[in-house]
Structure 1
Amino acid sequence: MRPTLLTRALIAGAAGLALAALSACDGSAHHADEALGSKAAAVPQPKRQAVGALPGMPPVLDPSDVYAADRPNKLSPVVKDFPSRIYVPNTNSNTVSVIDPATYRVVETIRVGRQPQHVVPSWDLKTLWVNNDLGNSLTPIDPRTGEAGEPVAVHDPYNLYFTPDGKYAVVMASADHQLVFRDAHTMKTVKALPVGCAGVNHADFSLDGRYFIVSCEFSGELLKVDTARMEVVGRQKLPLHGAMPQDVKMSPDGKRFYVADMVADGLWILDGATFGKPEFLHTGKGAHGLYVSRDSREMYISNRGEGTVSIFDFTRNELTKKWRLPHGGSPDMGGVSADGKVLWLSGRYNSEVYAIDTRTGAQLARIKVGRGPHGLAVYPQPGRYSLGHTGIFR
């Protein structure tokens, strides 16, 4: 039996909190041209340090909006001169297709290790790491030149994250049932943490950086991990037989975590602090990837099994729209363009990439790439540092 939707009371309360938070960071109305950005500028500094934050973590710019540093075209000085590109790991072709978003054309194909799953921006924004899962390696790409470097030996790198203080890379070693904490620069192992669940794959960090929530795809579980201690401090089985949790994303105010589930066909929504039993919201068949708009007001949910994208409004705490790809497709993972105008998603089962207008939902382009395109990275993107995956920026 499918779990129920959020209660009206919970919706009303969360909507009020989100509205207050968003009003504090941007009081303007949502206009059609809101995504228009200015020239790259230095990112503003935070107003104050968050109380009890992870030592060494650059504080969020606005404690009521964790995505405040991700506004349209507000690129870090580190990346402002990098060429805009879409990096697509083709899992079954062992290549990365590089797309010029201005022309919607593949301009380069880079051969990498076996079964590349995701392209991950490093914490310091200077390197893109290709996760060669079965190749047991990470291939570095210089985003300034587009050149690939020598692979670094890393076992079972299905996915990759970085602790908010920039000290450690966290390898999602899915087949090994481990989270492996490594030096963020040398990739030398610091601690291998057995997690006791199958298919660790995605995560997101709390507003204060003290913990992160991890999804375990093949055992239908969620974990809560203490960042500093590098220990699992919470574990729960999702209340649906056969659940397959995927991408994880936090609400702008930091109070809720959303977990896409491709079997439950929607989102699990839970309080990160209490790590209590989640509520459920149906979005569409094969819910998979989660991406936040540049104004922190909406979240794009790719429904891989039905060729659609659902739009979740944080302010109203409800689904408001659904975009359907013409001629179908399998929208999987990706990111939002630096100006906020385009949502880029890989077509996992169709050897293609989709460019979608974020104001209308219209398909702008459908680009042929290699076989099995998966965790594509849009780069560069706004933000001061990267927490990993295909681009979680603060």
Structure 2
Amino acid sequence: MKFQNNLLAVVLIGGTISARAQTPYAHDRVYTANQVSNTVSVVDPATNVFLGEISLGKPYPNVLSPLYRGQSLVHGLRYSPAKKMLAVVSIGSNSVTLVSTESNKVIKTIYVGRSPHEPTFTPDSKQIWTSVRGEAYVSVIDVASMKEIRKVQVADGPGMISFSPDGKIAYVCSSFSPELDIVNTSTYEIIKRIPVVSPFSPNIFTSPDGNWVAMTHKDVGKVTLIDTKSLSVHKVLTTGAITNHVTFSKIKGKLKMLVTVGGENKVRVFDVASDFKQTDTINVGNLPHGLWPSADGKLMYVGLEYGDQVQGIDLLTMKVLPAVKIGQSPQALVYADNAVTDARNHINLKPLNDAAATQIIQMKAVQEEIKATGKIAVRPIGLADLVEQIFGGLEPARGYTLFLSKSTDAPYTRDYEINSFDTDAKGKYMGQSTGLVKNAGAGQHEEDYKHLVLTDNQTGKVLLLGAN
């Protein structure tokens, strides 16, 4: 993708014909929902440049006190080309915020039930269906009146909704229940429940032709493919640890499915016509999460959750573009075609509030036979640091402690405890803690911490070490 290759437009100005270069994608925008800074970042895909942010609330740690104004845990995101409108879900404040892409201003905030997750516009843009993950229903919002008009009862913990192209069917995955619910959008009744491989599915997408529905299983690193003609599971693909989001795009005339694999920092590409055979693997930055292609199938953007960046991918060459710094902890991402009438529109956008880089620490096993893995993101939040942690391959339902040590070699002194946690039934843990751990493991001075250490609380054994 060469951004300097322009299209030529002929414009009538003052009775004369003049030529004006129109950059491809100039009226498009890329938006990310940033969970720590509580912002929506705006990127110009024509120039691969950050334009500014839409602030929806105060960043961490200011939201840890009672929240009377603004939104918290900005997470879910969807765009309506017909309305030039974003729907933004904030998990912590139970809200769906509608934002104009022309003015970058909040139009209205609608409050729904406990811990909503993702909004989805119906194909006609008349409604927004929002998964209320903390409860067992989908909130249906009327776009014209900007009010919740119905609650659709589904399995506990709905993760996200995807529609058939004609809008007659809604597919609802779940984050708590191992099933996919299929809903008739006219009657709002569940017409079928399909068992799936895992109870944690945060993301779902329908192919443009309507023949396939793909849903991710973040906990087991898989993607389930639903055949919409038979309304049954076609196959389950093993895609990799922390499989986050999935989408479809027609690339060089072929329909492809693309998946972000957060634990491996990869985007995997599958050919639909070849029964979802993997055709490409693209290495990207730290912890890819949301992804979305342009309408022409030539360009795609990926949010890097631990990198506080977005990264473009030229889909014709499968090569990455330079990463662009944005707000903190991007979750959902949308590529918005024709989002602005004026390509120079930067109105009401604020500069990036966070100037400090997130430090990524990849922890390594102290012995080859240890299969545990760990990745840490140390993100400045005011005077403290937010320490985001992902661990896998540990013993199920067992306690572990993460700490900093000034020791150069074993045995490692426990000089600063960061977190003590219990793994889930699969030996995994994802969580956060705060503290003064900036530049952890730098080890430049004698008094510095030399290692980040993970120990088994039951045996006291050191399993993982990390250093900058």
- TM-score scaled by length of structure 1: 0.69
Structure 2 Cα separation of the partners of residues 84 and 208 of structure 1: 25
Quote the residue 1:293 is aligned against: 249
Contact 1:331 1:354 in 2 (8 A): no
| C-alpha distance in structure 1 between counterparts of 2:325 and 2:153, whole Å | 39
Change (3 A) 1:126 1:209: same
Task: Confirm or deny that 1:201 pairs with 2:145.
Answer: no
* 1:110 match: 54
Q: How does 1:1-394 map to 2 (within 5 A)?
A: 83-112=27-56, 113-122=71-80, 124-155=82-113, 156-198=115-157, 200-238=158-196, 240=197, 242-294=198-250, 295=253, 297-325=255-283, 328-380=285-337
One-letter amino acid of the structure 1 residue matched with residue 316 of structure 2: R
1:244 Cα deviation (Å)? 2.1
- Deviation by residue 1:139-176 (Cα, 9 ceiling, x = unmatched): 33221233334534344442112333444221211112
How many aligned residue pairs are there? 306
Matched residue of 1:151: which SS? strand
Q: CA deviation at 1:94?
A: 0.8
Q: TM-score w.r.t. structure 2 length?
A: 0.59
- Residues 300 and 309 in structure 1, CA contact (< 8 A), matched pair in contact too: yes
Q: Is the 8 A contact 2:116 2:134 kept in 1?
A: no
Deviations, residues 201-232 of structure 1 (Å, cap 9, x unaligned):
22222244321211102223211111100112
Give the Cα separation in 2 of the matches to 1:351 and 1:312.
Answer: 27
CA contact (8 A) 2:99 2:108 kept: no
- Structure 2: gaps of 5 or more residues: 10-23, 57-70, 340-468
* Stretch moving more, 126-135 or 139-148: 139-148
Change in CA separation of 1:38 and 1:293 when aligned onto 2, cut-off 3 Å: farther
What is the Cα deviation at residue 336 of structure 1?
A: 1.2
CA distance in 1, matches of 2:109, 2:177: 31
Amino acid at match of 1:189: E
8 Å Cα contact 1:335/1:378 also seen in 2? yes
Higher helix share: 1
User: How far apart are 1:364 and its partner, in Å?
Assistant: 0.6
Query: Could you say what secondary structure the match of 1:86 adopts?
Result: strand
Return the letter of the residue paired with 1:283.
T
- Partner Cα separation in structure 1 for residue 230 and residue 247 of structure 2: 24
Cα separation, 1, equivalents of 2:291 and 2:267: 12
Q: Is the 2:26–2:45 contact (alpha carbons within 8 Å) kept by the matching residues of 1?
A: no
Q: CA deviation at 1:39?
A: 8.3
C-alpha displacement at 1:358, in angstroms? Answer: 0.9
Mapped to 2, the partners of 1:252 and 1:143 lie a distance apart of: 24
Identify if the C-alpha distance between structure 1 residues 322 and 81 changes in structure 2 by more than 3 Å, giving closer, same or farther. closer
| DSSP 3-state at the match of 1:114 | coil
**Separation in 2, partners of 1:248, 1:213:** 8
Q: Could you tell me whether the CA contact under 8 Å between 1:213 and 1:272 is conserved in 2?
A: no
Summarize deviations over 1:335-365 as a string: whole Å, max 9, x none.
1134432210111233221111212222212
Seen in structure 2, the aligned counterparts of structure 1 residues 255 and 104 have a Cα distance that, compared at 3 Å, is closer
Aligned equivalents of 1:217 and 1:195: distance in 2? 12
Structure 2: how far apart are the matches of 1:129 and 1:277? 30
SS class of match (2:135): coil
AA matched with 2:334 = A
8 Å CA contact 1:181, 1:190 repeated in 2 = yes
| Change beyond 3 A, Cα 1:247–1:305 | same
CA deviation string 1:70-122 (max 9, x = no partner): xxxxxxxxxx9983222111111111111222333322122112111123213
Between the aligned partners of 1:123 and 1:228, the Cα distance in structure 2 is: 23
1:374 aligned counterpart, secondary structure: strand
Q: Normalized per residue, which structure has more strand?
A: 2
Worse-matched range after superposition: 265-274 or 213-222: 265-274
RMSD in angstroms over aligned alpha carbons?
2.9
User: Which structure has the larger Rg?
Assistant: 2
Please give the alpha-carbon distance, in whole angstroms, between the structure 1 residues aligned to 2:338 and 2:293.
8
Deviation at 1:258, TM superposition (A): 1.8
Structure 2 equivalent of residue 4 of structure 1? none
